[in-house]
């Protein structure tokens, strides 16, 4: 079967809610695509669709693995600073959150926010939604001060786009104390006096 045939059969299977058949076709298509050159984009389409199917089936480890493979291809082809890479990171943050892996959800969410803010801008709808997701996660983890810092920095960038890029700095430069898990600025946590590594 050619790619266009796979593509049509996959679409029809998904439209008919025959996700088992769609999964089988996607896996077959990936096998064919991995043997051909310049198939990165089509391979990512398959990986992302499989991730979506696995989320629907609550097979979160499989969804994570496929989204991660897609991210690695996108990062290699497009570079780290690309909004498509930011969206791929956001998918990984979502599946990590669903699996209650909050460490990875935070890591991927913050990376997605940094990439989207620097490439699409603070006013971009995807950037704003990612910021709300990260803030919601931090509030869920009872890290309200850090959540407020991130929210204010993004909103400040929107309100004053000509100011220095404080939004990216607040996410990257605010340190989290390994002892008390609270955010701090500078070299030492004022609560624990842990020296920043």
Query: Which token pair is 84?
Result: 């498509």
CB 184 within 8 A of CB 190: yes
Alpha helices in the chain (DSSP H): 3-15, 19-34, 40-56, 60-78, 83-98, 102-119, 125-140, 144-159, 166-173
- What's the CA gap between 76 and 79, in Å, rounded? 6
User: What DSSP character marks residue 124?
Assistant: S
- What's the CA gap between 73 and 76, in Å, rounded? 5
Record the pTM. 0.77
Residues 104-158 have pLDDT tens digits of 999 999 999 999 999 999 889 999 999 999 999 999 999 999 999 988 888 777 7
Smallest CA-to-CA distance from 95 within 129, 128, 61 is with 61
Residues 90-99 have pLDDT tens digits of 999 999 999 9
- What's the CA gap between 64 and 52, in Å, rounded? 10
- Residue 91: the pLDDT is 96
- Residue 166: the pLDDT is 37
CB 128 within 8 A of CB 154: yes
């Amino acid at each position: 079967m050619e790619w266009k045939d796979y593509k049509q059969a996959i679409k029809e299977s998904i439209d008919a809610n025959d996700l088992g058949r769609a999964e089988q076709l996607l896996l077959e298509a990936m096998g064919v695509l991995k043997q051909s050159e310049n198939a990165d984009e089509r391979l990512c389409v398959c990986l992302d669709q499989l991730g979506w199917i696995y989320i629907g089936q609550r097979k979160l480890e499989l969804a994570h693995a496929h989204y991660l493979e897609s991210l690695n291809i996108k990062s290699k082809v497009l570079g780290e600073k690309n909004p498509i890479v930011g969206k791929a990171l956001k998918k990984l943050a979502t599946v990590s959150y669903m699996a209650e892996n909050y460490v990875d959800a935070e890591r991927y969410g913050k990376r997605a926010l940094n990439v989207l803010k620097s490439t699409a801008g603070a006013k971009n709808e995807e950037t704003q939604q990612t910021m709300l997701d990260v803030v919601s996660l931090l509030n869920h983890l009872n890290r309200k001060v850090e959540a407020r810092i991130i929210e204010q920095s993004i909103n400040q960038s929107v309100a004053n786009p000509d100011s220095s890029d404080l939004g990216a700095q607040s996410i990257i430069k605010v340190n989290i104390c390994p002892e008390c898990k609270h955010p701090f600025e500078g070299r030492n946590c004022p609560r624990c006096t842990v020296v920043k590594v």
